[in-house]
Amino acid sequence: AQSVAQPEDQVNVAEGNPLTVKCTYSVSGNPYLFWYVQYPNRGLQFLLKYITGDNLVKGSYGFEAEFNKSQTSFHLKKPSALVSDSALYFCAGTGAGSYQLTFGKGTKLSVIP
Amino acid sequence: KAGVTQTPRYLIKTRGQQVTLSCSPISGHRSVSWYQQTPGQGLQFLFEYFSETQRNKGNFPGRFSGRQFSNSRSEMNVSTLELGDSALYLCASSRISGRQGGEQYFGPGTRLTVT
């Protein structure tokens, strides 16, 4: 069975500082990995994806994610956090032969002014 | 291009009733997936439809069912509602199914409250 873990329920970071939201995965074969963001009372919005190629993936709103196969991780990063980045972030993944996207539990990011 | 729409946005039902939720995907998207989101369990996959066929089903009881129409619109039905069915139900569409369809576009959700 495939699984995606987000070890931190909440991450607090000061505005202007770099942020990292952690994600690890366990899927069969080569993973397809995604990050989504959810603002209050809204659906999820796609941020970025890794399918193959460069380990550093760039996405929307200045976010990027680093794929590390040996550590089975796909951490979300941003060089300088904004207060407007405060939201719930979900990591998701799927493995070979799977039609199902598995989501992590989510990490609440709070950017403090 | 219009986004994914879900109706209704809010719903209050009593135990034992049944409910039908509707989802209209982005034009041109043939895959529709449904998820249940709760504070305790997070996002859980219900099922996916592609070209009117159920491609995959999550670990939910048979009270949860769905269908997809020829125009790709999808409905989800929950029969004999239980208090634990209270959740935000999210619909997501993508152009294709399978692993490549993982880039999904979500609707705003239907907030179901069972009393």
Cα–Cα distance measured from residue B37 to residue B114, given in angstroms and rounded to the nearest whole number: 14
DSSP letter string over A2-55? -EEE---SEEEEETTS-EEE--EEE-SSS-EEEEEEE-TTS-EEEEEEESSS-S
Cα–Cα distance measured from residue B113 to residue A100, given in angstroms and rounded to the nearest whole number: 26
Evaluate whether B67 touches A110 at the Cβ level (below 8 Å).
no
Contacts of B50 (CB under 8 A, 6+ apart): B30, B31, B32, B68, B96, B97, B101
Q: How many CB pairs under 8 A join A and B?
A: 58
> Residue B95: is its pLDDT beyond 90?
no
What pLDDT, on the 0 to 100 scale, is given for residue A43?
83
What pLDDT, on the 0 to 100 scale, is given for residue B48?
92
B99 and A106 in contact by Cβ < 8 A? Answer: no
> Looking at beta carbons, which residues of chain B come within 8 Å of A48?
none
Evaluate whether B109 touches B11 at the Cβ level (below 8 Å).
no
> Residue B99: is its pLDDT beyond 70?
no
Q: What percent of chain A has pLDDT over 90?
A: 78
B102 and A43 in contact by Cβ < 8 A? Answer: no
B43 and A106 in contact by Cβ < 8 A? Answer: yes
Confidence category of residue A28, pLDDT binned at 50, 70, 90: confident
> Residue B102: is its pLDDT beyond 70?
no
What digits encode the pLDDT tens for the residues B15-24?
999 999 999 9
Examine residue B8 and say whether the peptide bond preceding it is cis (omega within 30 degrees of 0): yes
Confidence category of residue A98, pLDDT binned at 50, 70, 90: confident
Q: Which of B35, B90, B99 sits opposite A98 (nearest CB)?
A: B99
What pLDDT, on the 0 to 100 scale, is given for residue B64?
98
What digits encode the pLDDT tens for the residues B25-62?
999 999 999 999 998 888 999 999 999 999 889 999 99
Residue range A74-100: average pLDDT? 92
What digits encode the pLDDT tens for the residues B66-90?
999 999 999 999 999 999 999 999 9
Q: Please, what is the average pLDDT of chain A?
A: 93
> Residue B101: is its pLDDT beyond 70?
no
Residue range A85-108: average pLDDT? 90
Confidence category of residue A52, pLDDT binned at 50, 70, 90: confident
Chain B interface mutation, best of A99, A105, A107, highest count of B Cβ atoms under 10 Å? A99
